[in-house]
Amino acid sequence: VRELAGRTAFVTGAGRGIGAAAAHRLGEAGAAVAVVDRDEAGAEEIVKQLLDKGIPAIALGCDITDEREVEQAVRRVSAELGGPDILVNNAGVLRDNLLHKTSVDDWDTVMTVHLRGAFLCCRAVAAHMTTNGYGRIVNVSSVSALGNRGQANYSAAKAGIQGLTRTLAIELGPKGVTVNAIGPGFIKTEMTAATAERIGVSAEELQRRSAEITPVRRVGEPADVAELIAFLASDRSSFITGQTIYVDGGRRL
Ligand SMILES: NC(=O)c1ccc[n+]([C@@H]2O[C@H](COP(=O)([O-])OP(=O)(O)OC[C@H]3O[C@@H](n4cnc5c(N)ncnc54)[C@H](O)[C@@H]3O)[C@@H](O)[C@H]2O)c1
């Protein structure tokens, strides 16, 4: 069903991984898609795939931590594709370390990309959504928000995303905009492959270990997360707002 026909989605970090899967899933449901990523070549590659499927899409090389770049990107999307009606705040980075080894730079980088980035995109896109009286914002948090060794910065940022979500749900609900967060568990992407490399095991070995302690006995695929994003981006979820929904195969850290 093309239930998102006529909608435009602005997906950050969509040049690969979970964001790319979300771009495909939203496009398959009928949305036009703005593929936003700091990695412009990655964004262009995903747009090529979307256009091949007949999905209207544009690539935007944009660093979500830069206020001017975000404002410009949203203006361009609004002019070329309309909306945006759907915002997926997905771009993210890791700078994992135990507290005593965490530099101020690593702390600031993680806070800036996740929190300042999500704030800037919400502010810019919400202006269009409230004018149109309709919007869906999906913020990507993580099971790490509940606490995870070696991720003080990331855990704090992902918990912050949940507070941002609850507050914007209150502020924007009366204007027809719902705001929810999702909390993926272990998902097979370049992010978790990089974690494996950092701790000195193969990506497959880390996946095997993770599957073993997950109730459904497997790790997640980007498509598992994209499915929930598509539901929260649709009209079907109109009475759900301010929530964090975990997509983790039953695993809590
Ligand atoms: N993979 C997992 O297991 C997992 C689990 C929980 C949460 N998450 C979250 O899901 C989201 C996507 O993760 P992924 O695994 O697909 O990661 P990934 O590293 O594969 O992709 C992240 C994308 O974000 C882009 N990006 C990073 N900083 C940016 C910036 N400042 N401006 C614009 N783009 C930027 C990168 O270029 C990259 O294309 C992240 O927010 C991550 O924290 C992932």
Contact predicate 158/115, CB 8 Å: no
- Size of the chain in residues: 253
Cα–Cα distance for residue pair 241/218, rounded to 1 Å: 29
Q: What is the three-class DSSP state of 234?
A: coil
> What is the per-residue pLDDT for 223?
98
Contact predicate 181/188, CB 8 Å: no
Q: What pLDDT, in 10s, does the model give residues 179-198? A: 999 999 999 999 999 999 99
Q: What is the three-class DSSP state of 159?
A: helix
Cα–Cα distance for residue pair 251/35, rounded to 1 Å: 30
Quick check: pTM over 0.95? yes
> What is the per-residue pLDDT for 1?
77
CA–centroid distance, residue 138 to ligand 1 (Å): 14
Cα–Cα distance for residue pair 148/126, rounded to 1 Å: 32
Residue numbers annotated as active site: 154
Q: Which atom of ligand 1 is nearest to the CA of 225?
A: 10
Cα–Cα distance for residue pair 17/24, rounded to 1 Å: 11
Cα–Cα distance for residue pair 173/242, rounded to 1 Å: 9
> What is the per-residue pLDDT for 17?
98
What does the pLDDT average to over 247-253? 86
Instruction: For residue 135, give the nearest of 9, 5, 3, 2 by alpha carbon.
Output: 9
**What is 165-204 written as a DSSP string?**
HHHHHHHHGGGTEEEEEEEE-SB-SHHHHHHHHHHTS-HH
* DSSP conformational letter for 113: I
Q: Give the mean pLDDT of the chain.
A: 98
Contact predicate 188/247, CB 8 Å: no
Query: Which of 64, 95, 189 has most ligand 1 atoms within 8 Å of its beta carbon, as the pocket-test mutant?
Result: 189
Q: What pLDDT, in 10s, does the model give residues 58-106? A: 999 999 999 999 999 999 999 999 999 999 999 999 999 999 999 999 9
Q: Who lines ligand 1 at CB under 6 A?
A: 12-13, 15-19, 37-39, 42, 63-65, 90-93, 113, 117, 140, 142, 184, 186-187, 189-192
Q: Tell me, what amino acid is at 131?
A: T
Cα–Cα distance for residue pair 240/243, rounded to 1 Å: 7
What does the pLDDT average to over 20-49? 98
> What is the per-residue pLDDT for 67?
98
Structure tokens at 136: 């869906």
CA–centroid distance, residue 231 to ligand 1 (Å): 20
Q: What pLDDT, in 10s, does the model give residues 151-187? A: 999 999 999 999 999 999 999 999 999 999 999 999 9
Query: Which of 12, 93, 218, 248 has most ligand 1 atoms within 8 Å of its beta carbon, as the pocket-test mutant?
Result: 93
Phi, psi of 189 (to 5 degrees): -145, 180
The fraction of the chain above a pLDDT of 90, given in percent, is 98
Confidence category of residue 253, pLDDT binned at 50, 70, 90: low
CA–centroid distance, residue 189 to ligand 1 (Å): 9
